[in-house]
Amino acid sequence: MPEELLEQLTEQQQEKVEEKKAPNWISPMLATLTEDYFSDPDWIFERKLDGERCVVYVQGGEARLGSRNKKEISSSYPELIDALEDLKAGDFIADGEIVAFDNGISSFSRLQSRMQQDSPDQKLIKKTPVFLYLFDLLHAHGHDLTGLPLRARKALLQRLIDFDDPIRYLSHRNEEGEAYREEACEKGWEGIIAKDSTSPYVHSRSKKWLKFKCVANQELVIGGYTPPKGSRIGFGALLVGFYEGDKLRYAGKVGTGYDDETLERLHGKMQQLERKSSPFADEVDEGEVHYITPELVGEFGFTEWTNDHKLRHPRFLGLRDDKNPKNVKKEKVSRS
């Protein structure tokens, strides 16, 4: 690591930096949902962005973007690759999120056209510009930084990279988590992420990173669909669920949140996965149903869970191809 970067660390912190070859893939650290909001001088609070999580790899002047399930997504965002390769920051691995905006608010629905498109043309790139927000530095110049406390990693990230659109640094607030969440909710954000500033980086879900949400959303597996009625095209509603062990539990149907393009495109994907038997462990009390092999994952907004584990007032937000269906569980709230 360059001498000037190491000089920013204390002697104790330098002992936690390990000289190590950069890995080809890294599993990102994941946050745990909580409703126990708090303020703490040892924690920092970042805006929760509603986009596509990614790990950035820059090695030998070439950049790659990897999703959280280790799928390369570089071809969907060529302008981000160009910008990363122009940084002249040397070799590094960073954690971040790819975001598109709708009226100043990060929008997963707006990002859909980019997520589902390999090698987009300039017309689409101009129509739906995206930004890469970086918030953690995991590896730099042949050194593993994951053992450092978060605040030190973020400081190194700021010094390593000269940020300029479309590459942005995700800033944070210190200490005042409850006030920042209230502000986030007033602005229509999805919420904030609380992070223990003293913690190392781990490659799993952790209670050192917590989600303070303003809205309810959940990733769910698509197991079937109903036929369209009236003038609607494609399908009527999606049948969705989550895994408990090896069982796909039925969480209800979702009939809103689709435009005609989504209805047609998603219907085409599901037709290729049709099967005769239901993939759900629970009975599905619907009339005509087309069941599919549960390979597609969507993100859905809703108001609350019912007592029988069904979604109330759900709406479709978009498809996710960065999540293994078998890893889709009902998100549980952590209680301290």
Taking Cα atoms as reference points, which of 152, 159, 142 lies closest to residue 9?
152
Whether the predicted pLDDT of 331 surpasses 80: yes
* Structure tokens given for 245: 């062990």
pLDDT in tens, 252-299: 999 999 999 999 999 999 999 999 999 999 999 888 999 999 999 999
- Report the pLDDT value the prediction gives residue 43, as an integer from 0 to 100: 98
Question: What span, in angstroms and rounded, lies between the C-alpha atoms of 86 and 65?
Answer: 15
Whether the predicted pLDDT of 2 surpasses 70: no
Q: Which residue among 16, 20, 21, 48 is the active-site one? A: 48
- Report the pLDDT value the prediction gives residue 4, as an integer from 0 to 100: 75
Whether the predicted pLDDT of 6 surpasses 80: no
pLDDT in tens, 71-125: 999 999 999 999 999 998 999 999 999 999 998 899 998 999 899 889 999 999 9
- Report the pLDDT value the prediction gives residue 334, as an integer from 0 to 100: 66
Is pTM beyond 0.75? Reply is yes
Contact 225, 235 (CB under 8 A): yes
The CA angle 321-324-327, to the nearest 5 degrees, is: 135
Taking Cα atoms as reference points, which of 329, 299, 263, 324 lies closest to residue 107?
299
Whether the predicted pLDDT of 332 surpasses 90: no
CATH class of 30-49+172-214: alpha beta
If you average pLDDT over residues 215-225, what whole number do you get?
94
Whether the predicted pLDDT of 141 surpasses 90: yes
Question: What span, in angstroms and rounded, lies between the C-alpha atoms of 152 and 150?
Answer: 5
Whether the predicted pLDDT of 242 surpasses 90: yes
Whether the predicted pLDDT of 62 surpasses 90: yes
Kind of pairing between the strands at 52-59 and 247-254: unpaired
How far does CA 48 lie from the centroid of its chain? 10
Picking from 10-14, 166-170, 218-222, which range would have the lowest pLDDT averaged per residue?
A: 10-14
Question: What span, in angstroms and rounded, lies between the C-alpha atoms of 42 and 185?
Answer: 23
Determine what percent of the chain is predicted with pLDDT higher than 90.
84
pLDDT band at 8 (very low <50, low <70, confident <90, very high): confident
* Structure tokens given for 5: 């970067």
- Is 48 noted as a catalytic residue in this protein? yes
pLDDT band at 304 (very low <50, low <70, confident <90, very high): confident
* Structure tokens given for 115: 């997520």
Fold topology of 216-327: OB fold (Dihydrolipoamide Acetyltransferase, E2P) (2.40.50)
Domains 30-49+172-214 and 50-169 share a fold: no
Taking Cα atoms as reference points, which of 17, 37, 41, 22 lies closest to residue 201?
17
CATH class of 50-169: alpha beta
Domain spans of the chain?
A: 30-49+172-214, 50-169, 216-327
- Residue whose tokens read 């999805």: 190
- Report the pLDDT value the prediction gives residue 148, as an integer from 0 to 100: 97
